[in-house]
Amino acid sequence: MSGPLHGWIATAPLGAASVLAEELAIFGASAVRERSHDVRFEGTLEVGYRACLWSRAATRVYRPIGVFPAQSAAGLLEALRRVDWREHFAPGATLACSASGGNAAIRHTVYASQLLKDAVCDGLRAATGVRPDVRPQRPDVPLHLHVEGTEAQVSIDFAGESLHRRGYRLDGGRAPLKENLAAAILLRALWPAICAEGGALVDPMCGSGTLLIEAAAIAADAAPGLERDYYGFLGWRGHEPELWRRLLAEARARREARAPRRCIHGFDADGDAVRAAIGNVAAAGFADWVHVERRALSAQGAAPSDHGLLICNPPYGERIGAAAELPALYAELGRVMRENFAGWQAAILAGNPPLARHLGIHAKRSHPVTNGAIECRLLRFDLGAARLPEPRETLQERWAARSGAQMFANRLRKNLRRLEPWAVAEGIECYRLYDADMPEYAFAIDLYGRTERHVYLQEYAAPRTVGIEQARERRREVLAALPQVLEVPIERVHARTRRPQKGAAQYDKRASSEQRHEVHEGGLKFWVNFRDYLDTGLFLDHRTTRALLRDWAADADFLNLFCYTGSATVYAAAGGARSTTSVDLSNTYLAWTRDNLELNALMGPRQRLVRADCLEWLRLAAAAGPAYDLIFLDPPTFSNSKRMEGVLDVQRDHPRLIRDAMAMLRRGGRLVFSTNYTRFRLDEASLAACTVEDLSARTIPRDFERNSKIHHCYLLRHA
C-alpha cells in the first residue's frame, strides 16, 4: 500500500473499539492507538478507503487536515480562514459542517460548526471569488470540527454518513441493533473462526434479522460498504477515483468467489419480525446463506450441526415485552442453550444484565457494550461445559444452610425485631434494615412497602483483600437468607452493586425495565423504581429532612434545587407551600417529579418544573434577587454531565452554591443544605453573612443511626 502516510481517526460504538483496532491492523494501519470510543491510526489513502469499505465495526472514518488553537472563537475563526481550502474543494463543490466537543469559549456544537462553515466560505470566496453552496445532506465535502481543551481538529468525514447504514434494511422492526454493533458482537464472539471451521449460527430471537445478515456478510466475505452509493470523499479534491474503483472491483471479486452455504438460521415467535427479517435478508442478497422461520423459543429444535454459535439480543424490558415476563423468557433461553446446543459457543447481549442470572449458566467472558443509550453486557458462554443446574429451591436451601448464611439471617432477625415495631408505630413503610452491620457482609438492605414488600439490596464493592469468588459466595448466602427471613419471594429482591461513582455516572440509567411501584411515606405516595437506576428514587435517609421541610413550608415559596424525583417538593406542597419550583437538568427526573405530584393530587399551576443546569440557573436567578422563603439545596457530590456548563465538586463549590441560593432567599427564610459526601467540611468562614445550624444529627433517622455520616445537613438563615 504505497503512498504517503496520513493520520486517521475511526469511531465505533462504546465497547467495540478493540474490535475496530483489530480490523484496522488487518487493513494495513500502523501506530494503532485504541481509545474508549475511537481508534487513532496512521495509513495511506488506500488504508482509509479500506476502512470505509471493509470495516464492519466502524461508525465514521475521519482524515484530519489540521489542528488549530481554540482558546477563543475569534482566534479559531481566524486560524481556519488561513487554510487554503482549494486543496480540498473543487470548483462548485458543496459543503456541510458538523462539530463535537467543546470548551469554555466554544460551548455549543451548532456554534462550532457555524464557525467552520463561515471560515471555509470566507476563505474560498477570498481565493476564488465564489462562495460554496451548503448542502446539509450528502455534500461533496463533509467537514467535521472537534473541540477539546484549547485545540480544535478539522477533518474530512470520509464516511459522509454513518457506516452502520449498509443500505439493505427495509424494516428495522421494533428495536433493531445498529449494523456495526451487530457486526462487532459477532467478531467478538469469534464467528469468523467458527464459520471458517464449518460451524453454523442460530439466532432464536432474530427480530428483523440484523445479526443474521451481518453474520452472512462475514461468511460470504462481503464488504459491508460495497452497496453504499455515497461516501464523504467522493467529491473531495484529494480523491483518487482509480484507486477506489480498484478496491471496489477487488471487493466484488471476493464476494463472488465465496460459494453460498445455508449455515445461518433465524427464528422468532413474532410473525411480523420474521417477515421483516426475510425481506431484509433478501434485500441484502443473502437469501442463499440464511434460513428464517417463525418458531417459538420453547419449540426450538436440535442444533443444525455439532458445533457453532448461538447468538441473540433478547428483550430488555424496554419497548418490547412485559418486564414481568422476562425472567421466564431468560430461563427458557438457558434451557434451550443447555439442552439443544451442547458443544456450541453462545453470545447473549444482555441489555438488562440482572436478568442473565435466570439463564442458569455462568458466562466465561463478559464485555461492556453500549447499544444506543443502553449499557449492556455481551455474555459469552462455552456450552460444551454447560450442565443442567440444580432447581432454584434446592440451591437456595443449600446456601441457606451454610454457617455464614445462618449467622447473617440471625442478624437480620435481630434487626427486624428492633426496627419493625418502631416502623409500624411511626407509620413508616420504607426503611433501612441492615447497613454492613457485619463487615464481612458488606450490604445495605432497605425494605419498601408493607402489603407487598420489596427488598432493595445494595452490595458495596468488595475491597481488594476479598477475592471475587469469596464475594460471590457471600452474595449467594445473603440472597438465600433474605427470602426466608423476610418472607419475600426472590423475584421481589432487587440487587445492585454500589461503587464510588464519578461524574454523571452516579445518576446514569442502569437498565430499562420502566418498572415502578407505589410506596407510602409520611402520609404521601411516591413512585420508586428498583431496576433502572442506582437509587430507587426515594432517599430514605432524608425522611426526617423532608418532614422538616413540610413543617416549614406553610405559605412559603419553595425552591428545590437538584430536585431529583421531587420527593421534597411533594412534602412542601403537602405542607401548604404557596408555590414550588423544582430545578433539575434531567428530563427523566422532572417527569418523575411531575408523576409524584400528580400521584398525590398536588400538581397545579403553582408547581413549576424547570429543566436547567442548576449552576447556571442559580447564577442567573440569583441576580434577580430574593424570591423564595424556603430552599432545599441537595447537590450531587460530583458531576461533569456533558449537558452542564461546568464541573461540580460539592466540597469545592458549596460556598458559591450556598451564596447564590442565599441571594434568592427572603429575609426570615430558611435554606436547608444537604450533601451525602462523607468527608464534607462546611466552609463557614466563607459564609459569614449567614447563621448556620448543623441539623445532621437531628435529621438522621433511627434506621440510619449506625452511619452518622450518611449525610450532612445544615439550616442557614440571613445573619
Per-residue pLDDT, 316: 77
pTM (2 d.p.): 0.59
Q: pLDDT tens across 701-712, in order?
A: 999 998 888 999
Cell numbers linked to 190 = 469469534
Instruction: Determine whether 340 is exposed, middle or buried from the number of CB atoms within 10 Å of its CB (0-12, 13-18, 19+).
Output: middle
| DSSP label of 389 | P
Per-residue pLDDT, 512: 40
Per-residue pLDDT, 451: 82
User: Considering only CA atoms, which of 556, 559, 578, 555 is closest in space to residue 568?
Assistant: 559
- Kind and range of the H or E run holding 143: strand 141-148
Outline which parts of the chain fall under CATH 3.30.750.80.
399-499
User: What percentage of the chain reaches a pLDDT higher than 70?
Assistant: 91
The answer to whether 56 and 14 have CB atoms below 8 angstroms apart is no
Task: Give backbone dihedrals phi and psi of 263, rounded to 5 degrees, phi first.
Answer: -110, 5
Cell numbers linked to 13 = 460504538
Q: pLDDT tens across 2-52, in order?
A: 689 999 999 999 999 999 999 999 999 999 999 888 999 999 999 999 999
User: Considering only CA atoms, which of 571, 590, 574 is closest in space to residue 582?
Assistant: 590
Is domain 517-718 annotated with CATH 3.40.50.150?
Answer: yes
Instruction: Return the SS3 of 529.
Output: coil
Question: Who has greater pLDDT, 528 or 480?
Answer: 528
CA gap 627, 643 in Å, rounded: 26
pLDDT category of residue 465 using cuts at 50, 70 and 90: low
CATH class of 399-499: alpha beta
Radius of gyration for the alpha carbons in the chain, expressed in angstroms and rounded: 29
pLDDT for residue 174 is more than 70: no
Which one of 197-201, 436-440, 534-538 scores highest in mean pLDDT? 197-201
Outline which parts of the chain fall under CATH 3.40.50.150.
179-222+258-385, 517-718
Cell numbers linked to 267 = 427464528
Beta strands in 336-417 (DSSP E): 345-350, 365-371, 374-382
Q: pLDDT tens across 229-245, in order?
A: 999 999 999 999 999 99
Is domain 6-157 annotated with CATH 3.30.2130.30?
Answer: yes
CA gap 144, 66 in Å, rounded: 11
Measured CA to CA in angstroms, residue 329 lies from 315, 349, 659 at distances of 9, 14, 54
Per-residue pLDDT, 506: 41
The topology (CATH level 3) of 179-222+258-385 is Rossmann fold (3.40.50)
Amino acid letter at 193? A
Per-residue pLDDT, 80: 95
The answer to whether 127 and 86 have CB atoms below 8 angstroms apart is yes
Instruction: Determine whether 624 is exposed, middle or buried from the number of CB atoms within 10 Å of its CB (0-12, 13-18, 19+).
Output: exposed
CA gap 634, 561 in Å, rounded: 7
Q: pLDDT tens across 352-379, in order?
A: 888 888 898 989 899 999 888 888 999 9
Contacts of 451 (CB under 8 A, 6+ apart): none
Q: How far apart are the first and last CA of the chain?
A: 75
How many residues in the chain? 719
User: Considering only CA atoms, which of 177, 170, 163, 145 is closest in space to residue 59?
Assistant: 163
Q: pLDDT tens across 82-105, in order?
A: 999 999 999 999 999 999 999 989
Torsion from C-alpha of 616, 617, 620, 624, nearest 10 degrees: -160
